Structure 1
Amino acid sequence: MLQTGEMMNSSSTLQSPHSPRRDPLQPIRLWLDSFPVHNPTIARRLAKLIPPQCPFERDIKFFGRTLLHIPPLCKLNPFYEELVGLRFRALCYLADECGEDVRPYC
């Protein structure tokens, strides 16, 4: 006969039908999050390549009236947060370790 504690342990090992699915993009996200920034040349390239703000948000106007608003599509990018973090780490490396002025990248 199972004791109460054993019943709880055996039922907790079962997967619930609503458990989160595996993310196929997780390895790329982890790689971007752990990408080392230890080279000033690479840090400068990252700061130049990754934009500081979303370049897609636009208001389309005709005779001074807004006809269409295009929302920031960067939020749809599955790697948006990781890329912003990588750019931030590159700028911090340039400012803290290399003593560079990072205002031209902003």
Structure 2
Amino acid sequence: MTSFIQMNSHKDILHPIRRWLEGIEIHNSKLARLLCKAIPAQCPFERDVKLFGHIFFHIPPMCKLNPLYEEVVGLRFKALCYLADECGEDVTVYC
């Protein structure tokens, strides 16, 4: 009987999607701008819930639970680099 760890190390069902996302090259300023607008710079779910001016509780960022988080953030970084390096745009509007 094979263990769960051995089965996971041999088969990553998201591997093709990871490779596809990592292989995307940015050569179009419209696509780069769209990616920079669509992929947030920070996790949109992280919040401090305040009650009467005091922090009642904190909701931690849950974006890192996304199994494709690193690849999506890398794609956003590629788009930002393309706009800054190739197009000479000011990318601070996307930060």
TM-score where L is the length of structure 2: 0.87
> Using the alignment, how far apart are the partners of 2:36 and 2:54 within structure 1?
35
1:81 corresponds to 2:70: yes
Supply the RMSD in Å over aligned alpha carbons. 1.5
Task: Identify the match of residue 49 of structure 2 among 60, 66, 69.
Answer: 60
- Output the amino acid matched with 2:50: K
Partner of 2:84: 95
Larger fraction in helix: 2
Partner of 1:104: 93
Question: Whose Rg is larger?
Answer: 1
Partner deviation per Cα, 1:27-60 (whole Å, 9 max, x = no partner): 1111111111111100010011000111111111
Which runs of 5 or more residues in structure 1 are unaligned? 1-15
- Output the amino acid matched with 1:102: V
Task: Identify the match of residue 13 of structure 2 among 15, 19, 24.
Answer: 24
- Output the amino acid matched with 1:100: E
